[in-house]
Amino acid sequence: MVLPSPTLTYAAKIERLTDKYLDVLIGGDVIGGSAISRAIEKHLRKGLKVTMTKRAASSIRNNLDQVCSMGIQVVEDESELSKSNGAIIRLEELNLTQILEFLKGLGVKTEDTDIVAVAVQDHGVPSPNQSNREFRIAKMEDLLKQNPVLENLAFKEDEVPSYFLRMHSAVDACKRQMSTAKVIVMDTSPCAVLGCLEDSEVRKKDRALIVNLGNGHTIAALVFGARIAGLLEHHTALLRRSPGKLEDLLRRFVDGDVKSKEIFDDGGHGAFYLPDIMEKERKPSLDNIDIVTVTGPNRSITADFKLPIHYASPAGDVMMTGNMGLVRAALRKTA
Q: Is residue 1 part of a domain?
A: no
Is there a single domain that holds both residue 199 and residue 318?
yes
C-alpha separations of 302 from 180, 205, 222, 248, 310 in Å: 43, 21, 18, 12, 11
Last residue of a domain, one of 91, 120, 153: 91
CATH of the domain at 254: 3.30.420.40
Q: Is residue 132 part of a domain?
A: no
How far is residue 316's CA from residue 218's CA, in Å, rounded to a whole number? 22
Are 132 and 264 in contact, with CB atoms under 8 Å apart?
no
Longest CA span, the chain? 65
Residue 99: CB atoms within 10 Å: 14
Domain range enclosing 289:
190-324
pTM of the full structure: 0.89
Q: Is residue 202 part of a domain?
A: yes
pLDDT of residue 110: 87
Is there a single domain that holds both residue 86 and residue 198?
no
CATH of the domain at 70: 3.40.50
Is there a single domain that holds both residue 203 and residue 320?
yes
Q: Is residue 56 part of a domain?
A: yes
pLDDT of residue 56: 95
Q: Are strands 309-311 and 291-295 parallel, antiparallel or unpaired?
A: parallel
Is there a single domain that holds both residue 195 and residue 313?
yes
> In which residue ranges of the chain is pLDDT below 50?
none
pLDDT of residue 241: 86
Helix intervals (H) in 271-320: 275-280
What residues form DSSP beta bridges with 207?
A: 224
> Looking at the 3D structure of the chain, how many domains does it have?
2
Q: Which amino acid is at 79?
A: S
pLDDT of residue 281: 65
Is there a single domain that holds both residue 317 and residue 202?
yes
Last residue of a domain, one of 91, 106, 134: 91
